Amino acid sequence: MPIICEPHEGAARRLAAGFREHGRAVPGLPELDRALTTDHEELVVVIGPGIDLRSALAFATAQRVHRPALSIVLVREQLQVEVLSEAMRAGVREVIPDRDFPALMDACRRSWEVSARLRSTEQAQAQARIQTAPGKSGRVVVIFAGKGGCGKSMVSTNLAVTLAQAKRHSVCLVDLDLGFGDVGIMLRVNPQRTIVDAVPMFEHMDETGVQSMLVKHESGLVAVLAPVTPGDAEKISGRLVHELLTVLRRMFDVVIVDTPPHFSEQVLAALDISDMQLLIAAPEVTALKGLRVTLDMLDLLGYSAEARAIVLNRADTRAGLTPADIDRVIGRPIAAQIPTSQDVPASINKGVPLAMEDPQHPVSQAIRNVARVALGGPPAGAKESRKGLRRSRANRA
């Protein structure tokens, strides 16, 4: 703390000097807005004398709506009564004369204390809304693979379509592969709205706001798509993902989360709130190694082994690995297997999931078995279990 906004390098260094390593400078208001979007924790900004007064006040006015807990300290070369009055109306916390370092430090300290109290109150109120809001408590299923190329997104999209077409559950598919998400392409939907639209709603997200960012698919599911603009992925924090999934599980029976092949802050947030983790692998040495590392990491992080299941994609591929080899590497049973088919890449290229194009296809039938596992039921052919859609929620209570 804080962020100093000042276009002149010498003035910026002068304003930042009192904060030592804790201060950072940006040259203009657009850069300041991007910095605040990336750093949701920042509570104080200092706008230097090099920023035009009208622009500074317009920026402060906008922050009163978008970031009500943010404190703005305005530095001017001369203090004038009319400037003080306009600044206060715009929401500026304090106006300080330039080169008065003790006054600037005191103003930032006071502003931080006020903003910290406001932020704490906002968080408490948001948590109270989440805990007391009526509605359903849906099941969050995270799809993860320790290595790319295992067919994770294919499983995610076909699983979501399968559940949606059955018309027994409302389904939302979230593309959390923020840098390289393919859900929009695989479903052939227009990414006019993406998860980036949730950023302005951070810490006060509700069902109405989330509804506005959902993209509908002809199968009946809705999707939250990954960003399409380079750099937008950095705007999505783990806390935002947790808040978004918390709201989505109130809106839908099943929330399926497609993830990147690594443990990021956002993936861990999804795992924290998940009821089931479907781990995708292929009968290849590198993929099985990735699965083994994933299982060890989940154990290390304390996630329940009962809340995960292994899905072997391209299970009938002749790659020189026997079932005994796979069992030895994994060390636990495979819950579902999906066969190999050239129709899968063809369906991806068309943007029509195979489960929708040909429900009787062997791959589609295998995905229905994955759906049973995702909902907490037994795989096909297994002994009937009492564990169902609400099992994990009841166990967590």
Q: Are residues 205 and 339 in the same domain?
A: yes
Gap between the Cα atoms of 336 and 383, Å rounded: 14
Domain boundary among 131, 162, 183: 131
Q: How confident is the model at residue 236 (pLDDT cuts 50, 70, 90)?
A: very high
Helix (H, G, I), strand (E, B) or coil at 363: helix
112: which residues sit within 8 A by CB, 6+ positions away? 1, 2, 43, 44, 71
Q: Are residues 208 and 228 in the same domain?
A: yes
DSSP string, 29-86: HHHHHHHHHH-TT--EEEE-TTS-HHHHHHHHHHHHHH-TT-EEEEEESS--HHHHHH
Torsion sign, CA atoms 196, 200, 204, 206? negative
Domain that holds residue 369: 136-396
Q: Which of 275, 283, 294, 239 is nearest to 377 (CA)?
A: 275
The tokens describing 270, both together, are 């999804």
Q: Are residues 289 and 324 in the same domain?
A: yes
Q: Taking a C-beta distance cutoff of 8 angstroms, is the pair 306, 212 a contact? A: no
Would the pLDDT of 382 be above 60? no
Q: What is the pLDDT of residues 11-41, one digit of tens each?
A: 888 888 777 655 688 889 999 888 888 777 7
Q: What is the pLDDT of residues 239-281, one digit of tens each?
A: 999 999 999 999 999 999 999 998 889 999 999 999 999 999 9
Q: What is the pLDDT of residues 342-373, one digit of tens each?
A: 999 999 999 999 999 999 999 999 999 999 99
Domain boundary among 131, 153, 176: 131
Q: Are residues 48 and 158 in the same domain?
A: no
Please work out, in degrees rounded to the nearest 5, the angle formed at the alpha carbon of residue 287 by the alpha carbons of 323 and 271.
110
Q: Are residues 181 and 214 in the same domain?
A: yes
Would the pLDDT of 221 be above 90? yes
Q: How confident is the model at residue 395 (pLDDT cuts 50, 70, 90)?
A: very low
Residue 358: phi, psi to the nearest 5? Answer: -145, 85
Q: Which residue has the tokens 């009821």?
A: 275
How far is C-alpha 236 from the geometric centre of its chain's CA atoms? 6
pLDDT of residue 323: 64
Gap between the Cα atoms of 213 and 298, Å rounded: 31
Domain boundary among 131, 151, 181: 131
Q: Are residues 92 and 152 in the same domain?
A: no
Q: What is the pLDDT of residues 167-186, one digit of tens each?
A: 889 999 999 999 888 999 99
Q: What is the CATH number of the domain that holds 388?
A: 3.40.50.300
165: which residues sit within 8 A by CB, 6+ positions away? 219, 220, 355, 356, 359
Q: Are residues 22 and 38 in the same domain?
A: yes
Q: What is the CATH number of the domain that holds 62?
A: 3.40.50.2300
Per-residue pLDDT, averaged over 384-396, amounts to 38
Q: Are residues 8 and 61 in the same domain?
A: yes
Q: Taking a C-beta distance cutoff of 8 angstroms, is the pair 11, 49 a contact? A: yes
Q: Are residues 93 and 159 in the same domain?
A: no
pTM here is 0.66
Q: How many domains does the chain have?
A: 2
Q: Are residues 79 and 159 in the same domain?
A: no
Contacts 24+ apart (CB under 8 A), 378-384: 379/335, 379/336
Q: Are residues 226 and 344 in the same domain?
A: yes
Among 63-67, 89-93, 310-314, the least confident range = 63-67
The tokens describing 311, both together, are 């899905």
Q: Are residues 298 and 339 in the same domain?
A: yes
179: which residues sit within 8 A by CB, 6+ positions away? 226, 233, 260
The tokens describing 154, both together, are 């294919």
